[in-house]
Structure 1
Amino acid sequence: MKIAIVLGTRPEIIKMAPIIDEIEKRGITSCLIHTGQHYDKEMSDNFFKDLEIKSPDYNIHVGSGSHGKQTGLMMKGIEEVLLDEKPDIVLVQGDTNAVLAGALVASKLHIAVGHVEAGLRSFDITMPEELNRMAADACSLMYFIPTEESAINLLAEGISRKKLFITGNTVVDACFRHLEIANKLGIQEESLASLDIENMNNILTLTMHRAENVDDKERLINIISSLKELKDMNIIFPIHPRTKKTLENFNLFDELNELEHVHIIKPLGYLDFLILTSHSTLILTDSGGLQEEAITLDVPVLTLRYNTERPETVSAGGNILVGANKKTILENAKKILNDEEFADKMKNAKNPYGNGDAAIKTIDAIEKAYNEGLLNIKSPENIMSSFSRKMIKINEDISVGEFEEHENALVHMVFDGEKMIFPLNDLNLKGMMITYDVYQ
């Protein structure tokens, strides 16, 4: 078996590191394809080295550019590699242009696509990430899903449960793996080291980069106004270059930079940022991935957005959506700082993304599918006329697996009267309303 992995950005590299480890540990042949969309070869190679990951077998060097240009160049480069390497499955992770390009190319070459972190939905199609993840899911054969909620999103879109694998999120594996490396190396960036965070109290780590925040002057004013009043916190703000430029254009940068309790520093490398995160009392962010890392590291997070594709963090109690509403930001930040019971409840929120074994579950599923010949993509002999769809209420003691065997069916959706439930094989269906496909 040969597994190809397409990577394009640092978050993808970070989250795929545990899977790369697991592939190497099992002696499986692999091919690492880096699109190089964010930085040059030297920086890229250093990042792989810092995370103790092997260097990519291919670097396409796409660089920055418009969505269309970047995706097209990636597709061209990835196609050339896949035609030469002929892998059994191509793994993509998340929701970037590299994910879109990799999934489209592989599926058109009739190579199985495995989408790591599948099923996430913000239900906001103005986000390019939402379009990327939806398109990748449409191309996939295997879906490696962080939570049951994300799995239900895919069931609702008509994907067979047989293709869905709830593995947890590799962000948990990655946080544990990389924090160990980070602590071993110590803080590398002087601007962070000079703050002596080991002896600093009440650290609020701020990140802000999304266009809906940084390009909207009214939102920025509200957020900065909130920061002004959080004088009991040490606000550390590794500022994104684009965010800095926008603040300067709006004449807001100096106003923020002059606040004594705000420490604006240059962007941090991932390992330094992980150390900062782990020392934080609170995180204020509009990042998606940081919502996952925060709950993994037991740090309360307030998200500067009105929706999230990580709703499980909110349901679990470790994350609160505050948008750019000054009152909401201040109320929750001050409560985390001053109400120990409230803060502890957020810190101790159960991690919906698992215990750090997502990589093992992912490669287990791929090996099983390969051994059973399920990665071979063939045209179906019967289309549409081969099944009918039904809905019934189950009144007897019978599991999903037993029902499917008895009825020659595939259970699709299960509703317990209050919520949708993922149809695990041993789930007892008594009293449930189900939809299912009957094969003829």
Structure 2
Amino acid sequence: MARAHPRLKVLSIFGTRPEAIKMAPLVKALAAEPGIDSHICITGQHQTMLQQVLDMFELKADYTLDVMTPGQTLNTLTAALYAAIDPVLEQVQPDKVLVHGDTTSALVAAMSAFHRRIPVAHIEAGLRTGDIHQPWPEEMNRRNIDLISDHLFTPTEASRRNVLGERLQGKSFVTGNTVIDALQMTAERIDRNRQLRVALDRQFNFLVPGRKVLLVTGHRRENFGEGFLDICKALRTLARRDDVQIVYPVHLNPNVLGPVTEHLGDLPNVHLIKPLDYLSFVRLMQLAHVILTDSGGVQEEAPSLGKPVLVMRDVTERPEAVTAGTVRLVGTDPDTIVRGVCELFDDDALWRRISQAANPYGDGKACSRIVDALMGRPVDEFVVEPPARRPAPTEAQRPAAPLRSVSRLH
């Protein structure tokens, strides 16, 4: 009788909510592959929000680390992560370690595996701004991870050109971004289930039908201080419009929560709400007309939902969306932000042109491509297809009638 081929033991390590969202569909795909023995280690930077993502995708961590302490610096976090991750590697003895993106946990996990000569696979490899200080420290993190990775899973052809230009030793594959897999799974779940939509919309019962929604997210370190004051100034100006309602799920970091609450908390059409779980946030993106953000992930997700994005950063490691026309950079200058938002609210032809542009970040098949590559099978790499005309909004994409209660931060 032929001997069974040994299963590939894969350990996925991640710790923040954005990492969890992008890794969840991949971890599910790994678990479903007969040739893979999949394990999950979460480092726990965003413990509560991270658990919400795991629960939503019906995942359970095999190892949960407790590394966060009040007032922690990046150096003390790094030291704690090294001390916590190494025993997990010793116990699991994985054939490959998978990390995502550019967080401190991803960097330390990759370096810990490298020190043990365990091959590293980097999901979302090859992103670059060309400035190691923007975003900080993420740009340096991802460059270092790419340098030591054996598998470089780049979301786009441009990101693959980055790693090829740096002559890195890892083998590269253009897979699309796993966040599009997660988004499509979540949006389809919402669209299929009217009862779920009604339940989700109860959180947004302050929305007034007929008024366009400006969804705002902001949390980047480089915008702390003067940057957030300028963002608040722009939002106060935009709030004077009687056809706009602004919804801002506010990050709980005091550097964000403090200025945002102080400068925007008294405006009736600015809704400062608590951070949302992923299912609720996807629903809110569906209901938005324009999204104003400094997030990386939102730049990738929103085009799949037909939502124009204005990015409150001076540079982006995701230039493909700028080239495709789905994203515009506005920085944190108040006048530039106001002008960019007003153009999209007032020019329907411009809004339609941007909303119908092709999403350069994926087609929902990134996870299957990554699994194929890990198993040594041929990979049908991701290629951006020409955009199809986007259909009119469905019932699932329209705001529900308003109810009475409102959940605000203030």
TM-score range, shorter chain: 0.7 to 0.9
1:95 alignment partner in structure 2:
102
Identify which of 343, 347, 370 aligns with 1:339: 347
Aligned to 1:374: none
| CA-to-aligned-CA distance 1:131-175 (integer Å, 9 cap, x gap) | 111111111001000011111111121125x71100111111010
CA–CA distance in structure 1, aligned partners of residues 144 and 30 of structure 2: 26
Q: Secondary structure at the match of 1:368?
A: coil
Q: Distance in 2 between matches of 1:46 and 1:236?
A: 21
Q: 1:301-320 alignment to 2 at 5 Å?
A: 301-320=309-328
**8 Å contact 1:51–1:178 — kept in the other structure?**
no
Q: Deviations over 1:370-413 (max 9, x none)?
A: x9xxxxxxxxxxxxxxxxxxxxxxxxxxxxxxxxxxxxxxxxxx
Measure the CA separation in 2 of the matches of 1:61 and 1:84: 17
Whether the 8 Å contact between 2:178 and 2:366 is mirrored in structure 1 is: yes
Matched, 1:111 2:118: yes
1:151 matches 2:160: yes
Task: Tell me which residue corresponds to 2:26.
Answer: 19
Code of the aligned partner of 1:71: T
Deviations 1:89-144 (A, max 9, x none): 11101111111011001111111100000000122322111111111111100100
- Which of these residues, 171, 174, 187, is aligned with residue 179 of structure 2? 171
Q: Which has the higher contact order (CA 8 A, sep 6+)?
A: 2
Partner Cα separation in structure 1 for residue 67 and residue 367 of structure 2: 28
Higher mean displacement: 359-368 or 124-133: 124-133
- Maintained 8 Å contact 1:239/1:267: yes
**What does 1:273-284 align with in structure 2 at a 5 Å threshold?**
273-284=281-292
Contact 1:51–1:181 (8 Å) recurs in 2: no
Where in structure 2 are the equivalents of 1:37-436 lying within 5 Å? 37-39=45-47, 44-52=50-58, 54-64=59-69, 65-126=72-133, 127-160=136-169, 163-182=171-190, 184=193, 185-186=196-197, 192-196=203-207, 199=209, 201-216=211-226, 219-220=230-231, 222-241=233-252, 242-243=254-255, 245-247=257-259, 253-368=261-376
CA distance in 2, matches of 1:51, 1:142: 25
Q: State the distance in 2 between where 1:47 and 1:343 align.
A: 31
Contact 1:286/1:303, CA 8 A, preserved across alignment: yes
Asked if 1 retains the 8 angstrom alpha-carbon contact of 2:234 and 2:338, the reply is no
Q: Give, in whole Å, the separation in 1 of the partners of 2:67 and 2:189.
A: 29
Distance 2:242 2:262 in 1: 17
Cα shift at 1:37: 2.0
Specify the structure having the higher radius of gyration (Cα).
Answer: 1
Q: Aligned partners of 1:254 and 1:113: how far apart in 2? A: 44
**C-alpha distance 139-356 of structure 1, shift in aligned 2 (>3 A):** same
Identity %, equivalent residues: 37
Q: Which letter maps to 2:286?
A: S
Partner of 2:16: 9
CA-CA distance at 1:334 after TM superposition: 1.8
Check conservation: 1:2, 1:89, Cα contact below 8 A. Answer: yes
Q: Is the 8 A contact 2:16 2:50 kept in 1?
A: no
Paired letter, 1:219: D
Q: Is the 8 A contact 1:188 1:272 kept in 2?
A: no
| TM-aligned CA deviation for residue 246 of structure 1 | 3.1
1:17 and 1:146 map into 2 onto residues whose CA distance is 16
Distance 1:46 1:255 in 2: 30
> 8 Å contact 1:145–1:167 — kept in the other structure?
yes
Q: Deviations over 1:31-54 (max 9, x none)?
A: 1111112226xx6544311232x2
Q: In the alignment, is the contact (CA less than 8 A) between 1:146 and 1:169 conserved in 2? A: yes
Give 5+ residue unaligned stretches, structure 1.
372-421, 425-440
**d(CA) in 2 for partners of 1:116, 1:18:** 12
The Cα shift of 1:300 comes to 0.3
Local SS of the residue matching 2:310 = strand
Secondary structure of the residue that 1:234 maps to in structure 2? strand
**Equivalent position SS for 2:375:** helix
Q: How far apart are 1:213 and its partner, in Å?
A: 2.5
Q: Which amino acid aligns with 1:147?
A: T
Aligned to 1:407: none
Moved more, 124-133 or 62-71: 62-71
Number of residue pairs matched? 363
Deviations 1:73-99 (A, max 9, x none): 222222111122111111101111111
Give SS of 1:19's match: helix
Are residues 26 and 255 of structure 1, via their aligned partners in 2, closer, same or farther at CA, if it must alter by over 3 Å? closer
Distance 1:57 1:231, change over 3 A: same
- TM-score by length of structure 1 reads 0.77
Quote the Cα distance in structure 1 between the aligned partners of 2:160 and 2:233.
36
Q: Match of 1:113, as an amino acid?
A: V
